[in-house]
Amino acid sequence: MSIYQKILRPILFSISPEAAHTLTVEACRVAGNLPIAPKVSRALLTFDSSELESNVAGLHFSNPIGLAAGWDKSGRAIPMLDHLGFGFAEIGSVSARPSSGNPKPRLFRLQQDRAIVVNYGLPNEGVEVVARRIAAHSPKTPIGVNIVKTNDGPDALECSGDEIFADYEKSVLIIHRYASFITLNLSCPNAKGGSDFFASPGNIASLLERLRPISIACPVFLKVAPNPAPSFLERLLQEAEPYEFVKGLMFNLPPGKPDSLSLTTDRSRLIHMPGAVSGKPVENLINQCIRELYFRMPKGRFEIIGAGGVFTAEDAYNKIRLGASLVQIYTALIYEGPGVVKRINRALVHLLHRDGFKSIQEAIGTHTC
Ligand SMILES: Cc1cc2nc3c(=O)[nH]c(=O)nc-3n(C[C@H](O)[C@H](O)[C@H](O)COP(=O)(O)O)c2cc1C
């Protein structure tokens, strides 16, 4: 058992999930501005190996394990993100205007399932603040920015398609020269209309058409609802294909508590926990989506980032062999602590050796059954 699991986790789990989240982000923000803490963190948490390096969508990654969107929503801890052992980090979701998100409580732990129920509804300080924070630090680790439509709350009037596109366009215009990559979040499960609008055929293509004249300076990924149906994936690929700046795809959490989740927590408890489920229960669904997408997508044209239930090197390796070029984690950090990144990277090298791969890039999409 690590120090995190023995000492820090019990303390963090004794306060509300949102208070624990805020506390850890603030601790990292403060630590990142101290003279010694980043160096100590780097020495303790980083594992380097040339076998883990890769080039994806024109960017260099020192290892394939990234921080998923939703932890550092407004880029408050950017100076520390270079020192936690990640090969990259995604901040956000961030929107054109600041948002306070959904009413509290909006975060719940499902310890038995190693999961979190999240109903944040996209609170963030707005894209202009995030752009300034990235510019002030110039991070060395690739920093992606996850962009979403502003959530004006449950009582807001329904937006027209044009207003939705304009909201994304404003954010992209402000952030594209600062971000290493942009992820367009087209499927927020917890905001009004968030998971519906882009499910309608043609709306993804219309957004991309609207963004085309910007000549976006960095690669763009699309984060979509996790749907393994061939008709959904084929339409997604068709809509993205004409837009050169779209370099990859990834899957978000499904809204609510669909039967496709492997949940053991009593469903009667879940009634009191609105929101989407992260962590182990989504792993199978996301893996199925990755497998089906990789099988159908033109190789070399698109890359996949895989996130959902990765706790160990085996979990990450599985996603890579199914077709993910990069992997992200979030819930594992909550249950295992920051040391999990180094543990995954170190054990990934053993898995590569075991299977005769010379680099992580060789292993992508090599799952055979
Ligand atoms: C507390 C929490 C907040 C999240 N917020 C966002 C978000 O703002 N934007 C987003 O695209 N995904 C968000 N996610 C989804 C994660 O980025 C990731 O796709 C998902 O949690 C699966 O990874 P995991 O099982 O390792 O947590 C959030 C997840 C959690 C647990």
**CATH number of domain containing 191:** 3.20.20.70
Could you identify the atom of ligand 1 that is nearest to the CA of residue 282? 25
Could you identify the atom of ligand 1 that is nearest to the CA of residue 283? 25
**% of the chain beyond a pLDDT of 90:** 93
Cβ atoms of 178 and 136 closer than 8 Å:
no
DSSP state of 193: T
pLDDT (tens digit per residue) in 69-106? 999 999 999 999 999 999 999 999 999 999 999 999 99
**Cα-to-centroid distance, 358 and ligand 1 (Å):** 31
Asked whether the predicted pLDDT for residue 190 surpasses 90, the reply is no
**b/e per residue 72-89 (b: at least 16 CB within 10 A):** bbbbbbbbbbbbbbbbbb
Closest CA to 147 of 184, 122, 180: 184
Cβ atoms of 209 and 172 closer than 8 Å:
no
d(C-alpha 363, C-alpha 320), whole Å: 7
**b/e per residue 286-321 (b: at least 16 CB within 10 A):** bbbbbbbbbeebeeeebbbbbbbbbbebebbbbbbb
Nearest protein CA to atom 29 of ligand 1, as residue: 70
**Cα-to-centroid distance, 278 and ligand 1 (Å):** 7
d(C-alpha 313, C-alpha 350), whole Å: 9
Whether 95 is in a domain gets the answer yes
Q: Determine the pLDDT at residue 139.
A: 86
Whether 368 is in a domain gets the answer no
Please give the full DSSP string across 95-130, using - where no structure is assigned.
-SS-B--SPSP-EEEEGGGTEEEE-----B--HHHH
Nearest protein CA to atom 21 of ligand 1, as residue: 278
Asked whether the predicted pLDDT for residue 268 surpasses 70, the reply is yes
Asked whether the predicted pLDDT for residue 189 surpasses 90, the reply is no
Please give the full DSSP string across 54-86, using - where no structure is assigned.
EEETTEEESSSEEEPTTSSTTSTTHHHHTTSS-
**Cα-to-centroid distance, 319 and ligand 1 (Å):** 17
d(C-alpha 153, C-alpha 171), whole Å: 19
Whether 251 is in a domain gets the answer yes
Extract the tokens encoding 44: 């303790």
Q: Determine the pLDDT at residue 299.
A: 95
Q: Determine the pLDDT at residue 313.
A: 98
Nearest protein CA to atom 23 of ligand 1, as residue: 308
Question: How confident is the model over 343-352, as a mean pLDDT?
Answer: 98
**Over 256-313, what HEC string results?**
CCCCCCCCCCCHHHHCCCCCEECCHHHHHHHHHHHHHHHHHCCECCEEEEEECCCCCH
- Give the three-state DSSP class for 327: strand
**In Å, how far from its chain's centre is CA 279?**
12
Ligand 1 pocket check for 74: Cβ under 6 Å: no
d(C-alpha 45, C-alpha 210), whole Å: 41
**Cα-to-centroid distance, 277 and ligand 1 (Å):** 9
Whether 366 is in a domain gets the answer no
Please give the full DSSP string across 142-154, using - where no structure is assigned.
-EEEEE------T
- Report how many domains make up the chain: 1
Ligand 1 pocket check for 287: Cβ under 6 Å: no
pLDDT (tens digit per residue) in 43-60? 999 999 999 999 999 999
Question: How confident is the model over 278-285, as a mean pLDDT?
Answer: 98
Ligand 1 pocket check for 84: Cβ under 6 Å: no
Cβ atoms of 65 and 346 closer than 8 Å:
no
Q: Determine the pLDDT at residue 369.
A: 59
d(C-alpha 129, C-alpha 136), whole Å: 11
pTM of the model: 0.97
Q: Determine the pLDDT at residue 196.
A: 84
Could you identify the atom of ligand 1 that is nearest to the CA of residue 17? 1
**Cα-to-centroid distance, 227 and ligand 1 (Å):** 17
Ligand 1 pocket: which of 16, 118, 312, 318 to mutate (most atoms within 8 A of CB):
118
**Termini Cα distance of the chain:** 34
Ligand 1 pocket check for 102: Cβ under 6 Å: no
Whether 18 is in a domain gets the answer yes
Ligand 1 pocket: which of 330, 334, 335 to mutate (most atoms within 8 A of CB):
330
Ligand 1 pocket check for 32: Cβ under 6 Å: no
Q: Determine the pLDDT at residue 194.
A: 59
Whether 369 is in a domain gets the answer no
Ligand 1 pocket check for 93: Cβ under 6 Å: yes
Whether 367 is in a domain gets the answer no
Q: Determine the pLDDT at residue 195.
A: 62
Question: How confident is the model over 19-38, as a mean pLDDT?
Answer: 97
d(C-alpha 127, C-alpha 253), whole Å: 23
Element (H, E) at 222: strand 220-224
Nearest protein CA to atom 2 of ligand 1, as residue: 70
**In Å, how far from its chain's centre is CA 14?**
26
pLDDT (tens digit per residue) in 301-318? 999 999 999 999 999 999
Asked whether the predicted pLDDT for residue 202 surpasses 90, the reply is yes
Ligand 1 pocket: which of 67, 111, 253 to mutate (most atoms within 8 A of CB):
253
Asked whether the predicted pLDDT for residue 188 surpasses 80, the reply is no
d(C-alpha 22, C-alpha 12), whole Å: 11
- By CB neighbour count within 10 A (0-12 exposed, 13-18 middle, 19+ buried), where does 103 fall? exposed
Residue type, 283: E
Question: How confident is the model over 267-291, as a mean pLDDT?
Answer: 96
pLDDT (tens digit per residue) in 136-155? 998 899 999 999 999 988 78
Asked whether the predicted pLDDT for residue 275 surpasses 80, the reply is yes
Nearest protein CA to atom 28 of ligand 1, as residue: 70
Residue type, 139: P
Asked whether the predicted pLDDT for residue 193 surpasses 70, the reply is no
Q: Determine the pLDDT at residue 155.
A: 80
Whether 263 is in a domain gets the answer yes
Average pLDDT, the chain: 96
Domain housing 258:
3-361
Ligand 1 pocket check for 233: Cβ under 6 Å: no
Ligand 1 pocket check for 332: Cβ under 6 Å: yes
